[in-house]
Amino acid sequence: MQLRTFSAKSTADVLAQIREELGSDAVILDTKEEDGVISMTAALERCNHVASAPAHTPSFGGIGTYGPSWEEEWGVIKEHILTLIKPALRLEQLEPKQKLALEFLQREGVSDEAVLALYTTLLKQQTGSILAPLSAMVPVRPWGTEAWPMQVHFMAGPFGGGKTSTALRFALQLRKVDPSMRICIINADAARGNGRLYLRHYAELSDLVYKEASTPMELMAALASAGAEGYDRTFVDMPGLDRRQALVPLLAEAGIRPDEASYFGGTWREACAVHLVFAPQYGLNHIRSLLARYKTPFTSSVVYTKLDEMDHYGQMVNVAHSTGLPTSAFSYGPGLGSSLTAASATLMWRLIFKRELPE
SS3 readout for 60-118: ECCECCCCCCHHHHHHHHHHHHHHHHHHHCCHHHCCHHHHHHHHHHHHCCCCHHHHHHH
Per the model's pLDDT, the better-predicted residue between 34 and 126 turns out to be: 34
How far is it, in rounded angstroms, from Cα 326 to Cα 139?
Answer: 5
Contacting residues for 206 by C-beta, under 8 A, at least 6 apart: 168, 171, 172, 175
Position 256, amino acid: I
Per the model's pLDDT, the better-predicted residue between 254 and 11 turns out to be: 254
Q: DSSP label at 25?
A: T
pLDDT-based confidence at residue 48 (cuts at 50, 70, 90): very low
Helix (H, G, I), strand (E, B) or coil at 194: helix
Same domain, 118 and 187: no
Same domain, 248 and 102: no
Same domain, 178 and 128: no
192 pLDDT more than 90: no
Whole-number pLDDT of residue 59: 29
Per the model's pLDDT, the better-predicted residue between 333 and 226 turns out to be: 226
* Full-model pTM: 0.75
- What is the mean predicted confidence (pLDDT) over 55-73? 41
Query: How many C-alpha atoms does 296 have within 13 Å on its Cβ side?
Result: 28
Of 137, 172, 203, the residue at which a domain comes to its end is 137
Same domain, 281 and 327: yes
Whole-number pLDDT of residue 49: 40
Which range of residues forms the domain containing residue 17? Answer: 2-52
Query: E strand or H helix at 134, and its extent?
Result: helix 131-137
Whole-number pLDDT of residue 200: 87
Cα 7 to Cα 36, 42, 214, 215, 268, distances in angstroms: 10, 11, 26, 22, 22
Q: Is 79 contained in some domain?
A: no
Per the model's pLDDT, the better-predicted residue between 358 and 48 turns out to be: 358
Same domain, 184 and 280: yes
Phi, psi of 275 (to 5 degrees): -105, 120
Per the model's pLDDT, the better-predicted residue between 199 and 59 turns out to be: 199
Same domain, 119 and 207: no
Q: Is 62 contained in some domain?
A: no
6 pLDDT more than 80: yes
Largest CA distance in the chain: 66
* pLDDT, tens digit (0-9, with 9 covering 90-100), for 244-288: 889 999 999 999 999 999 999 999 999 999 999 998 887 778 888
Same domain, 23 and 101: no
* Contact by Cβ (8 Å): 32, 20: no
Per the model's pLDDT, the better-predicted residue between 85 and 13 turns out to be: 13
Q: Is 297 contained in some domain?
A: yes
How far is it, in rounded angstroms, from Cα 195 to Cα 33?
Answer: 37
Contacting residues for 71 by C-beta, under 8 A, at least 6 apart: 292
Q: Is 72 contained in some domain?
A: no
Per-residue b or e along 27-38, where b marks 16 or more CB atoms closer than 10 Å to that residue's CB = bbeebeeeeeeb
* Range with lowest mean pLDDT among 16-20, 28-32, 201-205, 216-220: 28-32
Which of 14, 27, 3, 30 has its CA nearest to residue 253? 14
Number of domains within the chain:
3
* Range with lowest mean pLDDT among 92-96, 174-178, 265-269, 301-305: 92-96
How far is it, in rounded angstroms, from Cα 169 to Cα 329?
Answer: 10
Same domain, 340 and 193: yes
Whole-number pLDDT of residue 191: 67
- Write out 283-347 in H/E/C secondary structure: CHHHHHHHHHHCCCCCEEEEEECCHHHCCCCCHHHHHHHHHCCCEEEEECCCCCCCCEEECCHHH
CATH number at residue 280: 3.40.50.300
Same domain, 176 and 218: yes
Percent residues over pLDDT 70 in the chain: 83
Whole-number pLDDT of residue 318: 92
51 pLDDT more than 70: no
232 pLDDT more than 60: yes
Q: Is 40 contained in some domain?
A: yes
* Range with lowest mean pLDDT among 11-25, 112-126, 236-250: 11-25
Per-residue b or e along 69-80, where b marks 16 or more CB atoms closer than 10 Å to that residue's CB = eeeeeeeeeeee
330 pLDDT more than 90: yes
Which of 263, 275, 268, 198 has its CA nearest to residue 236? 275
Other beta carbons within 10 Å of 290? 20
pLDDT-based confidence at residue 169 (cuts at 50, 70, 90): very high
Other beta carbons within 10 Å of 271? 21
Same domain, 220 and 246: yes
* pLDDT, tens digit (0-9, with 9 covering 90-100), for 104-152: 998 998 988 898 888 888 888 767 788 999 999 999 999 999 999 999 9
Which of 108, 52, 117, 50 has its CA nearest to residue 82? 117
Whole-number pLDDT of residue 81: 54
Burial of 319 (0-12, 13-18, 19+ CB in 10 A): buried
Phi, psi of 266 (to 5 degrees): 75, -170
- What is the mean predicted confidence (pLDDT) over 74-91? 55
Which of 3, 6, 16 has its CA nearest to residue 216? 16
Q: Is 127 contained in some domain?
A: yes
337 pLDDT more than 80: no
User: Which of the given ranges, 3-7, 34-38, 49-53, 291-295, has the highest pLDDT on average?
Assistant: 291-295
Q: Is 257 contained in some domain?
A: yes
Same domain, 122 and 166: no
Listing DSSP states for 202-235 in one string gives: HHHHTT-EEEE-SSHHHHHHHHHHHHHHT-SEEE
Q: Is 60 contained in some domain?
A: no
Same domain, 333 and 227: yes
